[in-house]
């Protein structure tokens, strides 16, 4: 009966694990989906100027990696953090009940632990930021390289592109090595120092209290047992600083996008234009993609409806810029662009629907 009973309990445990895994998988998938959609919604509402100075691969990294990092922290780290905080609070109360003075002296390791965690967090933020920068550069390079492989083959640039890939790959590997080495040595070393310091205080001062008759030997053994139990949560707090730093960087990048405002905005009281004749007028229009580097400067011309105007010029002269300003992908720095006498900033966006 015992064997059958244990098998029955084992089957129940397996079913519970299976049910938990199914629920976790469904919830995890939904959370990641919602997070990626939130990031993408924030990105697509921004103006085209936001994408001009950014590489496609970098944005791909931000959508894919940052959402997974935030999910991992809130689903795999935060619940255990709450559990460990409760565990530390309960153990501190038990220690204070045994001997308040000895507890205060022994628990000096907790402020030290938070100082260590702070140092580790600050260093990990820098290490993860450098790693993210290297990874973004690597992803951007691969995205551009694979989409432009025909050009590479046409000009026989395989050797040069391999060298560029090696440089970015080496930079990413070096960032991973520095981050791994720091966390491999710092967390165990800080944990060992905390463990040694706490035990020395508890055994040294506690032993003196036993000799003085202030504390029973049995209470001292119970006290040291509780002290050893408190180290596991403290080690967890020290080790979680790496994930916290990575999540903090991801959240900062997400908030940066969410706080960004589109440069091309709809008017407060937009007008609706159902039809256009097609009279186009540029009046002293100036525009620059980069500050103090104008692409067009005080350009003025008029094209009546039904007529054609040919614009020629060398690469970078501003031909495409004029078309971008006309359909309001960008707003001019100065001057006005009108269609049928109406400033294109007044109609509802998008203008041509």
Q: What pTM did the predictor assign?
A: 0.70
pLDDT in tens, the chain (353 residues): 444 444 454 555 455 567 766 776 677 777 778 878 887 888 888 877 777 767 676 777 777 788 788 888 877 788 888 888 999 899 889 888 888 888 888 888 778 777 877 888 888 889 988 888 888 888 888 888 888 888 888 888 888 888 988 999 999 999 999 988 888 877 777 777 777 777 888 888 888 888 888 888 888 888 888 888 888 887 888 778 888 888 888 888 888 877 777 777 777 777 777 677 888 889 989 888 877 788 888 888 888 888 888 888 887 788 888 888 888 888 888 889 988 888 888 877 666 55
pLDDT at 1: 42
pLDDT at 308: 85
Residues 6+ away with beta carbon under 8 Å from 112? 194, 197
pLDDT at 6: 46
pLDDT at 24: 66
pLDDT at 173: 92
pLDDT at 349: 67
Residues 6+ away with beta carbon under 8 Å from 254? 38, 39, 42, 66, 70
| Cα(127)–Cα(259) distance, integer angstroms | 25
Q: Tokens 């999540």 map to which residue? A: 247
Q: Within a 10 A sphere around the Cβ of 23, how many other Cβ atoms?
A: 10
pLDDT at 15: 58
pLDDT at 226: 87
Tokens of 329: 């992908």
Q: Within a 10 A sphere around the Cβ of 239, how many other Cβ atoms?
A: 19
pLDDT at 166: 92
């Amino acid at each position: 009966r015992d064997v059958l009973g244990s098998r029955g309990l084992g089957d129940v445990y397996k079913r519970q694990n299976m049910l938990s895994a199914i629920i976790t998988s469904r919830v995890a998938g939904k959370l990641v989906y919602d997070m990626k959609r939130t990031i993408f919604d924030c990105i697509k509402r921004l103006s085209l100027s936001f994408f001009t100075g950014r590489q496609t691969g970098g944005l791909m990294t931000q959508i894919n990696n940052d959402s997974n990092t935030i999910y991992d922290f809130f689903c795999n780290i935060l619940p255990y953090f709450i559990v460990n905080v409760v565990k530390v609070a309960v153990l501190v109360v038990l220690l204070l009940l045994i001997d308040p003075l000895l507890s205060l002296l022994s628990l000096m390791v907790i402020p030290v632990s938070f100082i260590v965690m702070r140092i580790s967090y600050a260093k990990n933020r820098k290490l993860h930021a450098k790693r993210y920068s290297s990874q973004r550069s690597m992803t951007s390079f691969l995205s551009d390289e694979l989409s432009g492989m025909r050009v590479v083959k046409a000009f026989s640039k395989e050797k040069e592109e391999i060298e560029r890939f090696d440089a970015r790959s080496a930079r990413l590997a070096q960032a991973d090595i520095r981050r791994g080495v720091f966390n491999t040595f710092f967390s165990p070393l800080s944990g060992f120092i905390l463990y040694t310091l706490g035990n020395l205080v508890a055994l040294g001062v506690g032993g003196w209290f036993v000799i003085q008759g202030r504390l029973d030997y049995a209470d001292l053994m119970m006290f040291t047992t509780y002290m050893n139990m408190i180290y596991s949560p403290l080690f967890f707090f020290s080790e979680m600083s790496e994930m916290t730093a990575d999540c903090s960087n991801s959240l900062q990048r997400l908030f940066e996008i969410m706080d960004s405002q589109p440069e091309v905005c709809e008017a407060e009281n937009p007008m609706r234009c159902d039809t256009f004749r097609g009279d186009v007028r540029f009046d002293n229009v100036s525009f620059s993609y980069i500050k103090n580097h104008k692409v067009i400067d005080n350009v003025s011309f008029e094209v009546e409806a039904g007529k054609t105007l040919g614009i020629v010029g060398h690469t970078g002269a501003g031909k495409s810029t004029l078309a971008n300003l006309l359909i309001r992908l960008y707003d001019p720095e100065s001057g006005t662009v009108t269609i049928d006498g109406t400033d294109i900033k007044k109609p509802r966006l998008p203008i041509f629907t």
